[in-house]
Copies of this chain bind each other. A is one copy, B any other.
Amino acid sequence: MQFDASLPIYQQVVTDIKREIASGTVHPGDKLPSCRDLAVRYRINPNTAARVYQVLEAQGVAETRRGMGTYVRDDPQLKGTMLREMADGYTAQYVREMRGLGFERKELLKILAAWDGPEEQTKEDTGNGKGKTDA
């Protein structure tokens, strides 16, 4: 995983773990990696990894048991709640940004329907621009 320099690393890792829960890759009750393992996986400092778990616990996403590890909160509704929360957050931000540029919802639908931009780069895909917004 590569980090965006304009956002704290620990926040990006927090978001990534929440994404894994929301998308069903990690489940409520699952044990998360130890601070030291997490640091290795994301190539970050163990202190930064510990901070990730402190934030997740503060947000009610994870539970920490000293000496035992950190676990995803065992709440069957957790996945659905987080999926809705994150999707709504992304959508609200997108609509806000596009409105700031002068686009109304109707135009957003047209742009998204025509969107074929950067579809997951693969090895063979040399990534020629292809078509984007023609508005």
Contact = CB atoms under 8 A, between A and B. Distances in A.
Contact of A90 (B22, B97, B113, B135): B97
Contacts of A68: none
A87 B83 contact: no
B84 A90 contact: no
A132 B88 contact: yes
B112 A108 contact: yes
A8, A22, A87, A120 — most chain B CB neighbours (10 Å): A87
A117 interface: yes
A126 to B, nearest CB: 18
Chain A contact residues, majority secondary structure: helix
What 9 pairs between A and B have smallest CB-CB spacing? Answer: A94-B94, A90-B97, A23-B102, A88-B132, A87-B133, A88-B133, A23-B101, A19-B100, A92-B117
Interface of A: 6-8, 11, 19, 22-24, 83-84, 86-88, 90-103, 105, 108-109, 111-113, 115, 117-118, 120, 132-133, 135
23 contacts: A6-B7, A6-B8, A19-B100, A23-B100, A23-B102, A24-B102, A84-B133, A84-B135, A87-B98, A87-B133, A88-B133, A90-B97, A90-B98, A91-B94, A91-B98, A91-B112, A91-B117, A92-B118, A95-B115, A95-B117, A109-B112, A109-B113, A112-B112
